[in-house]
Structure 1
Amino acid sequence: MAIASSRSALIGLIIGCIIFGLGSLIVAHVDIGGWAMSFWRLTISGVIFTVLAKMTAQKLPRARRAIIFALLSGVFLGLDLALWHESIYAVGPGISTLLNSLQIFFLAAIGFLIFNERQSIVQLLSLVLAMFGVAMIGSPEFAHNSEATWGFIAGIVSGGMLAASMTFIRKTHDAEPTPIFVLMQLISIGGGLAMVIPMLVFDMGNIMPNTWSELGWVLVYGAVMQCLAWGLIAYSIPKLSLALTGLLLLTEPIAALIIDYSWLDKPINSLQWAGALLTMFAIYLGSLKPKPRALRRYRFFSRFYKHRYK
């Protein structure tokens, strides 16, 4: 049973990440502003999660701090999505998704500054490797793309906003454990409301879908990418090892890069492919949490004595 559960979690995580990668393709093809796309995605998912919360009789947390933290998580998620969309328009789905995946390093910085979490040598090395990887990706892009600067800034900052959103999810559960559907409902509400003013300022005239086809894709983007993909990932991660999870999460930028190169005819040269591989390797290393020293020492001596006296 355990093997079957682990296998289903592995498949679910891969499918969820690939669906996320396909979401960038929808963003690239639908003629709606990046902030507006963020608003619609969160609004649609908010309706769905509200219905699910009602159907399962999940209650709002009693602690006001938990509600505030969940709403703030939504605000940062909205900013993450909007900036990721803007990066997609500027440099394409592949590079933008890879840049967004750098959120692991922002999480490490937040853990160090706020939660006093120490960083291992491997994690520090991964940051250096990621910087080299991004430089390898960016150097050819800046040579022929006038929007590359904005695309890289938006993509990297979107990773920081995602890290902040995940941090406030943690603080929400610290204030009071919150059921998943209610949590996602509050996150969607906070993010959708936060997008209203930026959408009206930056995307005026480019807010509504222009055709029934675009409306359908926007509904798919909100329902499938925000609800189904997140659901598969949330279901799968606790059932897999941290190392395997970190490795499989890289299927999202890989899928986005392949889509960008093969379907959207994005020119990606060998230096950029090498930089992408280096960056993804760095992200994988950065996702590995070091074992506590005491636990490592215990396991070392346990293996030593088991071998010595067997």
Structure 2
Amino acid sequence: MTVHEGKTSAASPNRVPALWVALGAASLSVSAVLITLADVSAPTAAFYRCALALIPLAPFVLRDVLRHGLPELPVVGMALLGGSFLGIDYLMWNVSIADVGAGIATVLVNMQVVLFPLVMWAVAGVRPARRFVAAIPILLVGVALAGGVVGPGPAGGNAVRGTLLSLAAALAYSGYLYFGQRCGVRAPRHFATPVFLATAAAAVMSGVVGTATSGIAFDLGPESWLCLALVALFGQAIGWLLVGYGLPRLDPALSSTLLLLQPIGAALLGAVVLDEVPTATQLAGCAAVLVTVWVTALGGSRAAGRRRARKPEAAREDAVQESSCG
């Protein structure tokens, strides 16, 4: 083998996961626009996003079970509990989309990158690094600007409610990430099963809340069914499978950067498809949020790299925890 061939074969394993993560982030970025185009209630969108996604996820679960057997009962319980948080996340986030717009809502919900370490601190006693604490004031200002709480807000929306719901959704999503991270540590060989179980639990949570409030609509038009089917396929099944496969195989700093394609793509799609053009103030807030999230995640990636260099046996758990930044 020539030196050139050796370089190519060494680089290709890194390029392929990067491509999967980039494609997964792009796939996830269509969610908010499709939910807006579906023109259904927040519980209806959340329920069908998850329920319909179970169909394309099922073959991957069958593959998991045939290769590795059934997951342990604690893993099943953690996946279902995490899915309940995911259902709450979707319910609140869907309302915020109508309040602040598809692109802005996607930017704001990415606050989970900073909220997740705070959840880990409260639940598991893992003290966050100083960079997370230092980032909070900057993020609060950025969130207020991006959501329209300060300065011009979205026309016809509710800036305060939408911003608060986006942040609450990010907090609920952090709960999902916590339990998903534990599943990844306990059952690393089960690739799709935790995603399937969490998606099923999110569908149940959305269905119960929807039935108790505005109801789940069944008599939908063809356009609504199409949009909901697409968000289930791309914004749930394909997006998370691609991201979940690629992240543990990438350097966390690179994965953090690639995942920012999701809010950026959502903002661009919102402007092109829905004519949701943010104000200059909102753009400044979005930039502050995205840059701060990226710098914070990058610092966390470097710290994890130093830990793995000192303790190679902790590499797998660190990789799973860093993957939750998505």
Contact kept? 1:16, 1:230, Cα under 8 Å: yes
Count of residues in correspondence between the two structures? 296
Deviation per residue, 1:227-269 (Å, 9 max, x gap):
1111111122122211121122111111111222233222422
Deviates more, 1:130-139 or 1:154-163: 130-139
1:54 aligns to 2:62 (yes or no): yes
Question: What amino acid is the match of 2:21?
Answer: L
Alignment partner, residue 187 of structure 1 = 198
**1:26-175 → structure 2 map (5 Å cutoff):** 26-56=34-64, 57=66, 59-63=69-73, 65-137=74-146, 138=148, 139-142=150-153, 145-173=156-184
What's the RMSD between the two structures over aligned residues? 2.5
Corresponding residue to 2:32 among 4, 10, 24: 24
CA distance in 2 between partners of 1:227 and 1:274 (Å)? 32
Alignment CA distance shift 1:28-1:293 (3 Å): closer
CA distance in 2 between partners of 1:130 and 1:105 (Å)? 9
Contact kept? 2:30, 2:234, Cα under 8 Å: no
* TM-score normalised by L of structure 2: 0.82
Give structure 2 stretches of 5+ with no counterpart: 1-8, 311-326
Deviates more, 1:254-263 or 1:110-119: 110-119
1:197 aligns to 2:197 (yes or no): no
Contact kept? 2:152, 2:279, Cα under 8 Å: no
1:38 deviates by 1.1
Deviates more, 1:148-157 or 1:43-52: 43-52
Say which one has the larger Rg: 1
Deviates more, 1:75-84 or 1:115-124: 115-124
1:12 aligns to 2:41 (yes or no): no
CA distance in 1 between partners of 2:308 and 2:158 (Å)? 47
* TM-score normalised by L of structure 1: 0.86
Give structure 1 stretches of 5+ with no counterpart: 299-310
Alignment CA distance shift 1:161-1:264 (3 Å): same
Contact kept? 1:24, 1:93, Cα under 8 Å: yes
CA distance in 2 between partners of 1:181 and 1:19 (Å)? 17
1:158 deviates by 0.6
- Give % identity: 19
Deviation per residue, 1:64-91 (Å, 9 max, x gap):
x222211111111111112111111111
